[in-house]
Amino acid sequence: MRWSALVGGVLIQLVVGGVYAWSLFARALQAPEAMGLGHVQATVPFELAIGMIFVGTSIGGRLQDRSSPRTVALIGSVIYAGGLMLASFARGADDFWLLVVGYGLIGGFGLGMAYIVPIALLQKWFPKQRALVTGIAVGGFGFGATLTSPVAQRLLAANPEEPASAFLWIGAGYLVLGVIGSLMMFTSPTTASAASDAAGDYTVKEALRTPQWYLLTGILVVAVAAGISLISMMATASVEVAGFDVAAAATVVGVLALFNGAGRIVWAAVAQKVGPLPVLAVILGLEGLALIALPHTAGAAFIALAAVVYLCYGGAFGTLPAAAGSFFGLTHAGAIYGLILVGWSLAGVLGPLAASSLVGEAGNYRLAFSVMGALAVAGVALPLLTRPPRRKVEAEGAHAG
Domains parsed from the chain with CATH numbers = 2-400 (1.20.1250.20)
pLDDT for the residue 94: 85
**pLDDT-based confidence at 128, cuts 50/70/90?**
confident
In this prediction, residue 199 carries a pLDDT of: 56
Q: CA 59, CA 155: separation in Å to the nearest integer?
A: 34
142: left (phi over 0), alpha (psi -120 to 50) or beta: alpha
**pLDDT, mean of residues 241-263:** 82
Q: How far is CA 296 from CA 170, 262, 302, 349, in A?
A: 36, 25, 8, 26
Q: Which amino acid is at 280?
A: L
pLDDT in tens, 194-213: 444 455 789 989 999 999 99
Q: Where are the alpha helices (DSSP H) in 241-275?
A: 246-274
Cα distances (Å, whole numbers) of residue 351 to 18, 189, 256: 19, 40, 19
What sign for the dihedral angle of Cα 206, 53, 361, 21?
Answer: positive
Among 34-38, 167-171, 198-202, which stretch is predicted with the lowest mean pLDDT? 198-202
Residue 31 three-state SS:
coil
pLDDT score, position 41? 84
Helices (H), 67-165: 69-87, 96-98, 107-125, 130-158
Q: d(Cα 13, Cα 6) in Å, to the nearest integer?
A: 11
Across 59-63, 67-71, 107-111, 256-260, the highest mean pLDDT is recorded for 107-111
Q: Indicate if the alpha-carbon torsion angle 141, 224, 383, 333 is positive or negative.
A: negative
Half-sphere exposure in the Cβ direction for 234 (13 Å, CA): 33
The pLDDT score that the predictor gives to residue 377 is 97
Give yes or no for residue 360 having a pLDDT over 90.
Answer: no
pTM of the model: 0.78
Give the span between the Cα atoms of 92 and 85, in whole angstroms: 16
At residue 375, does pLDDT exceed 70? yes
pLDDT, residue 393, reads 52
Evaluate if residue 304 carries a pLDDT over 80: yes
Please report, as a single letter, which amino acid is at residue 71.
Answer: T
pLDDT tens, 227-236? 988 887 887 8
In degrees, to the nearest 5, what angle opens at C-alpha 81 toward C-alphas 80 and 86?
A: 100
Between 1-10, 248-257, 291-300, 390-399, the lowest mean confidence (pLDDT) is in 390-399
Q: Is the pLDDT of residue 6 over 50?
A: yes
pLDDT at 153: 86
Contacts of residue 265, Cβ cutoff 8 Å, sequence gap at least 6:
132, 135, 136, 139, 318
With cut-offs at 50, 70 and 90, classify the pLDDT of residue 220: very high
- State yes or no: pLDDT of 193 exceeds 60: no
Which of the two residues, 36 and 226, has the higher pLDDT score?
226
Q: What is the pLDDT of residue 310?
A: 94
Rg over alpha carbons for the chain, rounded to the nearest Å, is: 20
192 — pLDDT class (breaks 50, 70, 90): very low
Residue 155, CA distances (Å) to 149, 284, 362 in order: 10, 36, 30
Altogether, the residues listed in the chain come to a count of 401
- Tell me, what DSSP letter sits at residue 351? H
Q: How confident is the model at residue 398 (pLDDT cuts 50, 70, 90)?
A: very low
Mean of the per-residue pLDDT values for the chain?
86
